[in-house]
Homo-oligomer: A and B are copies of this chain.
Amino acid sequence: MGRKKIEIKMLEDSNTRQVTFSKRKTGLFKKAYELSILCGSEVAIVVFSPGKKPYSFGHPDINTVATKFLQQESNSNSALCSSSSKDSNLVRLNQLGEVMDQLYEEEKRGAILDVALHQHKKTQLDKVKQLHHLAELRCKLKARIDEIEVAETMLKIKEQPVVFCKNHA
């Protein structure tokens, strides 16, 4: 869909390849977004650029979670803070952004694997040997998810006194 029809094969020119990657990644993520909204389904995409940089798309989005987090926290703590607490929260949240993104992405992928494994277990009960392995993997994943959740909770607890002005009221 362009000035000319192109064959689907590796683009030789590295500049063209990079430009096309950028354009098509945008298109792919847009399609994924539309699918998730139209059909109310969860979608996760991970893609590596020609330069090996990872990009990911997920619905529900990180922003949704961050917004919920912010609203929840400011509701329960705003009375203790200065009038600019919401702005402070925003600044802090931005500082935490990268880490939160990391943890959220990890958690999301873990959750997806978890659900997928449950599905597999349901539909392949006859594959006993393989399921033993999968069950073990599932336990490890569960432990991993718990660990991520603990880490996330710790982050919130450690950052809250600064973020939300506790002990300053």
Contact = CB atoms under 8 A, between A and B. Distances in A.
A136 interface: yes
Contacts of A105: 116
A93 interface: no
Interface residues on A, range: 35 or more
Contact of A119 (B6, B40, B54, B113): B54
Contact of A21 (B41, B112, B147): B41
> What copy number does this chain have within its complex?
2
State the majority secondary structure of interface residues on A. Answer: helix
Interface stretch (A24-32, A63-71, A73-81, A84-92): A24-32
Contact of A137 (B27, B33, B41, B148): B148
A51 B75 CA distance: 35
A25 B21 contact: no
> Which 7 pairs between the two chains have the least Cβ-Cβ distance?
A21-B39, A133-B151, A43-B47, A42-B48, A24-B35, A44-B46, A99-B130
17 contacts: A9-B38, A10-B39, A11-B39, A21-B41, A24-B35, A28-B35, A32-B45, A39-B49, A41-B48, A43-B47, A45-B45, A46-B116, A52-B115, A98-B124, A102-B120, A102-B130, A102-B134
